[in-house]
Amino acid sequence: MTGPVLEARGLCKHFTLSGGWFARRQVLRAVEDVDLALHPGQTLALVGESGSGKSTLGMMLLGLTPPTAGTVLSHGAPLGGGRKARARRIQVVLQDPYSSLNPQRRVIDIVRLALDVHGIGPREGREAAASAMLARVGLTPAQGARYPSQLSGGQRQRVAIARALVLHPEIVVLDEPTSALDVSVQSQILNLLLDLQDEFGLAYLLITHNVAVVQHMAERTAVMYLGRIVEERATQALFANPAHPYTKALLASVLTPEPGLGLPDIQLGATPPSPLSPPPGCAFHPRCADAMPVCRERRPATHTLPHGAAACHLLAGPDAADTKGLP
């Protein structure tokens, strides 16, 4: 495998929140010390509950939010340049295509605008290039002449995909690309994305909470909890034998069509702790049924596993048993 096309090293994002006239300012640690690598032609999924930091991390990788600390690299070099330079290499497909499409422009004009802004190709050939990309995502010339409000949700997402790919980027960030669509349309969009990945050699960063989509799309999966990566492994290995208790809970939360089983009991109890006041030690320990005293004392080290790594005291081997007597 070649080197990463996109890489995060020690990436952090902290937001300082005002507490009002008489309260102290608080620091929200949305992303904390994240290392991540995306390779050419690969899909890397980023999963976790709402508020885990997935979208904030994606915004930093896109260059839309500056990191508090850490570096974003591409092919081993810092990913510099302005937004236009980054946009030629990294594009995004958002959850709700309607809110990201100009309702006053025709579909063909929305896709062509990216070529106009970047000055790609001869002016007279840009509409043909935009029309060809719309055709590639399954939209007809008649649909290209319409406005976004005249299309279905699935068709609007195809427009968003065409707009992202008309610049021929190396990387596409997919932020919940199917969660706003009907179930009957979701599989069509996912299969289209896979076909386009094969055709154009794209690398995808897939941000989602839907583990079924992850299993269908991703070669590797990173699990986030309260701003940190707690497990990152090959998707097949992670699904077959999850190492971190939080990963196990996420996979156990998947609903099954089998009658009589009811809702799964994932034993996570309350909602996650606030990132404004994360617990000491392992941030997951208040919700973990297997927590040991050391989990309340120290942040776990990252342990190398087959096909990846995870950060959990339970993976410390024989030494883990010695920590159970700690106060």
Q: How many domains does the chain have?
A: 1
Which residue range is the domain that position 251 belongs to? Answer: 6-18+26-325
3-state SS, one letter per residue, for 258-285: CCCCCCCCCCCCCCCCCCCCCCCCCCCH
pLDDT tens digits in sequence order for the chain, 327 residues long:
568 999 999 999 999 987 667 667 888 999 999 999 999 999 999 998 888 899 999 999 988 899 999 999 988 888 877 788 888 899 999 888 778 899 999 999 999 999 999 999 898 899 999 999 999 999 999 999 999 999 999 999 999 999 999 999 999 999 999 887 888 899 999 999 999 999 999 999 999 988 889 998 999 999 999 999 999 999 999 999 999 999 998 888 764 444 444 434 455 665 677 788 888 999 999 989 889 999 999 999 999 998 999 999 999 864 443 333 332
In a domain, 247, yes or no: yes
C-alpha atoms less than 13 angstroms from C-alpha of 296 in its C-beta half-sphere: 11
pLDDT value for 2: 67
Two structure tokens written together for 195:
């076909």
Two structure tokens written together for 280:
């000491």
In a domain, 109, yes or no: yes
In a domain, 166, yes or no: yes
pTM of the model: 0.89
Supply the CATH number for residue 62's domain. Answer: 3.40.50.300
Are the C-beta atoms of 173 and 202 separated by less than 8 Å?
no
In a domain, 194, yes or no: yes
In a domain, 167, yes or no: yes
In a domain, 145, yes or no: yes
The DSSP code for 298 is: S
In a domain, 1, yes or no: no
Residue-wise burial string across 119-149, b where 16 or more C-beta atoms lie within 10 A, e elsewhere: eeeeeeebbebbbebbebbebeeebbebebe
